[in-house]
Structure 1
Amino acid sequence: MRTIYTYGLFLVLFTFVVAPLLGPEYRLSVPSAEATEQLNDSYGDRLGTVRFPLSCSDAANQLVERGGALLHHMTYNGARASFAAATQQDPECAMGYWGQAMTYIHPLWSDKPSRGDFETGRALVAEARARGQKTDRENAYIAAVSSYYEAGWTKDEAANLRNFEAGWENAYRRFPEDIEAASFYALAHLATASPGDKTYQKQKKAGAIAETILVQVSDHPGAHHYAIHAYDYPLLAYKALNIANNYGEIAPDIPHALHMPTHIFTRVGLWDESIIFNKRSAEAALKHPAGNKISLHYPHALDYLVYAYLQQADDDSAKQVMDELLILEGSFQTHIAASYSFTAIPARYALERQQWADAAALDPGLPANYPIGKFPAMEAITYFARALGAARSGNVAMAKQAYEKLVALQGKAEKTSAYWANQIEIQRLSAKAWITYQEGREKEALGVMQQAAELESLTEKHPVTPGEILPARELLADMLLAMGRYKDAQAEYESVLRRSANRFNSLYGAGVAAEMVKNKEEAVWYFKKLMETTGNVETDRKQVQHAKLYLTRNQMTSGGNTYRSAEDMGS
């Protein structure tokens, strides 16, 4: 067992090692010997404990282990630099080439390698096969990564990921006591899980493997990381709460490691914890650029941060974060996570505050120095917000214009991702429902809104997002509330809370719905829960003022009321 530390013998300034390895032009190149002696990726001396099979020189072994830990943290550029430095120290170090090939595969991210990067990875696998005397375990690792590349580059990433899963399953079954093979199998197994499988069969299996590893090595980076991904679902999140609390302390200088716990905090509605860790993640991300560009981990952390602030009604803090992101100078790493954040944050800021006119006026071109149009599903977020905002502020003509753009973007997304095209379909139906409602066809509108909510219930959120821009079922509850169907509205708000704990608008909506049918006990419960969620935040939101007034009038602002979960409230 070896705990990863920074090795002073191999320090080099980060920008001189990582930056040359970022582009598709990289082909088996490695840092110079002089650079290797100075290797300093600035990720600190705490990365967790790993156990890799190694037949390289001692100096190269240390770099491979560091690269392996960074690989588990999905810090792919830093890992690649460390693996490359290992092959400079020991050109016959097969695991150095193996590791570089692994860094081009991002199983849980929606960014399959370009054709050039794919061919680089395949060439690295061939190099790993050709180099040095290898143990059986090392050969099994090389065979596992080779399984991803052997069919060649295709537009269907799912097929290569299935091969990747099979390759790591073979390694895992051959060496069942090998915690690294087990970790990579858990990761690959997760990558092939269906978003529509509500039994969570693969997620549960991957999580169980990760938990078994943590019994043996309590600070294993991959086991922490993959367990959080495995349990990042409403019904499973509680299983990862302790793991989430630990992960950020294992690697306190890794942006992604600091962010990952907030996937679980968001699921269970722990907004203070989410704010703390996403602030730390964003700060760390600015210290670790992607070459000469601002890392994707920066806007990604800010999206989760803004979401948490908005659930606490801390609108001033949310706006400050949004403004800082959109005026930040410099180029950003082009990635789906960054693209999502750039459109989601302004949309959330308007829609969560129910500032419909502001949503209708959103600019899809922000920030000006980023190619939003490269990702149609992300661009669609702005037009969903515009369509919904215009409809709910009574401007049907403007809503229809945005709706048509949304439909066009859905057509583009269908060519690249069935998942994201389906997300746009949910948005399209939601926008159509509210346009129809404003046109006076309430029964038809309700049917369309129910269709959107049911479609959403059959899918899961992508790891790139803390939650839907606005949940379709929450929009359904809003419509029922507007129609005076208060008990039905409350049931739908409670359904939202089972999926997304402590959402401000659903807590408030459930309270209002209970109030309207004079169910004082349940109204008080939800309004007190709302006040607990917002804490001591100073806010101008009228919902908070209404909740305070109701609680005061009912003389139940403190004591005498037992909190119940949304499940207990039932429907």
Structure 2
Amino acid sequence: MRLFLILLLLFSAFSDAQEEHKHPVPEELGAVSFPTSCQPHTQREFNRAAALLHSFAYSTAETAFETVAEQDPQCAIAHWGIAMTHFHQLWDLPPSPSDTSAAQKALRHAATLEEASPRERALIDALSFVFNDADVVPFSARALKYETAMRELAAANPSDVEIQVFYALALISNASPSDKEHRRQKQAADLLEPLYRQFPNHPGIAHYLIHACDNQELAARGLPAARAYAMIAPSAPHALHMPSHIFTRLGLWDDSITSNLAAMSAAQQQGDIGEQLHAMDYLVYAYLQRGHDRDALRVIDELNRMQNLEPGSFKIGYAATAMPVRYAVERHQWSDAEKINNPADSAPPQVVAISVWARGLGFAHNSHIQAADKETETLRQIEGRLRASGNGYWASQVGIMRREDLAWSAQAANRPREAADLMRGAADDEDRIEKLPVTPGPIIPAREQLGDLLLEQGDVSSALKAFELALANAPGRRGALQGIVQAKRSH
């Protein structure tokens, strides 16, 4: 309740200010002090640009860095800032060709300017590793070079807050989804926590602490930062949404709903479609876990009224595709799942896979096995394309989806042992891989589906164990809780 009242007051104040002053740029962004060698009169705007960057307000941050460059044409670090707005480290990697081109242009210009301290030149050189030779060097190698350069820079400047914070972000960005020990995340958290105690109003420190702890092992450790971030930078939609990553991990659905309602409204007012849809997706997820199906449907109705969406953007395409799939599949409305449409042709293949998977589940649960097999074959093809393109993470995720559909088809065809083996293998593989920051998690975890499958087969004891593990992995999920109750009643 306290969080709700604080967010409500903050958002109301922000809305009133927008109405009174008609000011399009957010102003309550937290406290950032990023000293530069540029003209002194640009310092305030540079700090503001850096604060926007730390809250992933990339478009507005780019405009702010450009303002600094206009105020001081020799300010090299301003062009580093412009390039950084094209490096979306936690949800849009590798950078797109257009982002790469824009960043290269900014970095080339920075290299021609003499107004840069050794520290600033080192930041520019480090970022150049990300974008230089993009057509010949794999992104993973370029990202690792960036992380190494930032590590060396952080070691050489132990009291430089901004360098330490950006190094922590590089660690989180390069964390492997298959590392269940979360070594890079722990290293980042160990670096950020002392800084958070010293600089509690710095938006990047709280933000990246949340991301470092966005896993089941560390989620409780990230709760203080989650409680604080929305109050540090209430004018940034992402800051209003970001606490819900931790709330989702801990099953704090009411807190997640409050967070994402505020983020959705702020993003809508600021015209940030990607952030609005991101908040809406998390909102639908939280509503469904609370059993507030009508509220979830209202969010989806709002989605359906939105026009000119860009499904080619993963952030937009994922959220717009996942929301109606969640509503059908979480509620076991299999006939509705059969009717899920694919997103536009421009959508990334891993986004298309979500709708294909949903239809496959619907057909299999309704014993339309031949139709389900067609969707499974499509998933196999998407998996192959992703693997051939070097996108191993999403190839693995689509492979898990494919085996889930195969398992339910085998169950419908009265091959229970095959069905259980397929679903158990999918669950084991899914448990070994972390989710990406842009998603709340799998639509329905494979371990939870395994419980449903085993319960349907009459193996109540094994089903109960599967549900209990699914709930440990994803606390508060309604399907796992209901499965445990049903399994205990069946004993």
TM-score computed with the length of structure 1 as normaliser = 0.80
Higher mean C-alpha displacement, 231-240 vs 167-176: 167-176
Q: Please state whether the residue corresponding to 1:50 is helix, strand or coil.
A: coil
Q: 1:34-183, aligned counterparts within 5 Å?
A: 42-154=24-136, 156-183=138-165
Structure 2 counterpart of 1:475, which letter? Q
Structure 1 unaligned spans of 5+: 1-13, 15-38, 366-370, 518-571
Greater share of helix: 2
Q: Please state whether the residue corresponding to 1:374 is helix, strand or coil.
A: coil
Query: Counterpart in 2 of 1:327?
Result: 305
User: Among the aligned pairs, what percent are the same residue?
Assistant: 38
Higher mean C-alpha displacement, 497-506 vs 127-136: 127-136
1 or 2 for the larger relative contact order (CA 8 Å, sep ≥6)?
2
Alpha-carbon distance change, 152 to 386 in structure 1, aligned in 2, over 3 angstroms: closer
Partners of 1:148 and 1:499 in 2: CA distance = 34
Deviations 1:310-356 (A, max 9, x none): 00111111111011102213344742111111211111101111111
| 1:433 is the counterpart of 2:407 | yes
Partners of 1:154 and 1:479 in 2: CA distance = 46
How far 1:155 sits from its partner (Å)?
A: 7.2
Query: Counterpart in 1 of 2:360?
Result: 387
| 1:261 is the counterpart of 2:235 | no
Q: Please state whether the residue corresponding to 1:409 is helix, strand or coil.
A: helix
Contact map agreement 1:296 1:333 (CA 8 A) in 2? no
| 1:187 is the counterpart of 2:169 | yes
How far 1:41 sits from its partner (Å)?
A: 7.1
How far 1:373 sits from its partner (Å)?
A: 4.2
Partners of 1:337 and 1:372 in 2: CA distance = 16
Q: 1:420-569, aligned counterparts within 5 Å?
A: 420-517=394-491
Structure 2 unaligned spans of 5+: 1-17
Contact map agreement 2:310 2:317 (CA 8 A) in 1? no
Partners of 2:137 and 2:351 in 1: CA distance = 20
Deviations 1:479-507 (A, max 9, x none): 11111111111111011111111000100
Contact map agreement 2:311 2:347 (CA 8 A) in 1? no
| 1:314 is the counterpart of 2:287 | no
Contact map agreement 2:168 2:208 (CA 8 A) in 1? yes
Contact map agreement 1:169 1:185 (CA 8 A) in 2? yes
Alpha-carbon distance change, 282 to 84 in structure 1, aligned in 2, over 3 angstroms: same
Contact map agreement 1:278 1:301 (CA 8 A) in 2? yes
Structure 2 counterpart of 1:187, which letter? L
Partners of 2:98 and 2:328 in 1: CA distance = 40
Contact map agreement 1:251 1:257 (CA 8 A) in 2? yes
Partners of 1:494 and 1:96 in 2: CA distance = 51
Structure 2 counterpart of 1:330, which letter? N
Structure 2 counterpart of 1:211, which letter? E
How far 1:141 sits from its partner (Å)?
A: 1.9
Partners of 1:114 and 1:351 in 2: CA distance = 32
Structure 2 counterpart of 1:109, which letter? W
Query: Counterpart in 2 of 1:560?
Result: none
Partners of 2:312 and 2:66 in 1: CA distance = 23
Contact map agreement 1:71 1:103 (CA 8 A) in 2? yes
| 1:210 is the counterpart of 2:192 | yes
Deviations 1:211-243 (A, max 9, x none): 121122111111111111110001110001111
How far 1:143 sits from its partner (Å)?
A: 2.4
Partners of 1:255 and 1:154 in 2: CA distance = 36
Contact map agreement 1:296 1:334 (CA 8 A) in 2? no
Q: Please state whether the residue corresponding to 1:108 is helix, strand or coil.
A: coil
Partners of 1:153 and 1:250 in 2: CA distance = 39
TM-score computed with the length of structure 2 as normaliser = 0.92
Select which of 239, 243, 253 maps to 2:221: 239
Partners of 1:361 and 1:131 in 2: CA distance = 57
Contact map agreement 2:454 2:460 (CA 8 A) in 1? yes
Q: 1:399-414, aligned counterparts within 5 Å?
A: 399-414=372-387
How far 1:135 sits from its partner (Å)?
A: 2.4
Q: Please state whether the residue corresponding to 1:203 is helix, strand or coil.
A: helix
Contact map agreement 2:38 2:115 (CA 8 A) in 1? no
Structure 2 counterpart of 1:387, which letter? G
Deviations 1:28-59 (A, max 9, x none): xxxxxxxxxxx997343211111212122233
Q: Superposition RMSD on alpha carbons, in Å? A: 1.9
Q: Which has the larger radius of gyration?
A: 1
Contact map agreement 2:342 2:352 (CA 8 A) in 1? yes
Alpha-carbon distance change, 379 to 462 in structure 1, aligned in 2, over 3 angstroms: same
Partners of 2:44 and 2:140 in 1: CA distance = 33
Q: Please state whether the residue corresponding to 1:445 is helix, strand or coil.
A: helix
Select which of 413, 418, 429 maps to 2:392: 418
| 1:227 is the counterpart of 2:200 | no
Partners of 2:437 and 2:377 in 1: CA distance = 28
Partners of 2:311 and 2:450 in 1: CA distance = 36
How far 1:148 sits from its partner (Å)?
A: 2.1
Counting matched residue pairs gives 471
Alpha-carbon distance change, 448 to 483 in structure 1, aligned in 2, over 3 angstroms: same
Deviations 1:430-463 (A, max 9, x none): 0001101110111111111111111111101111
Contact map agreement 1:245 1:261 (CA 8 A) in 2? yes
Higher mean C-alpha displacement, 395-404 vs 487-496: 395-404
Alpha-carbon distance change, 40 to 216 in structure 1, aligned in 2, over 3 angstroms: farther
How far 1:372 sits from its partner (Å)?
A: 5.1
How far 1:258 sits from its partner (Å)?
A: 1.0
Q: Please state whether the residue corresponding to 1:66 is helix, strand or coil.
A: helix
Structure 2 counterpart of 1:350, which letter? A
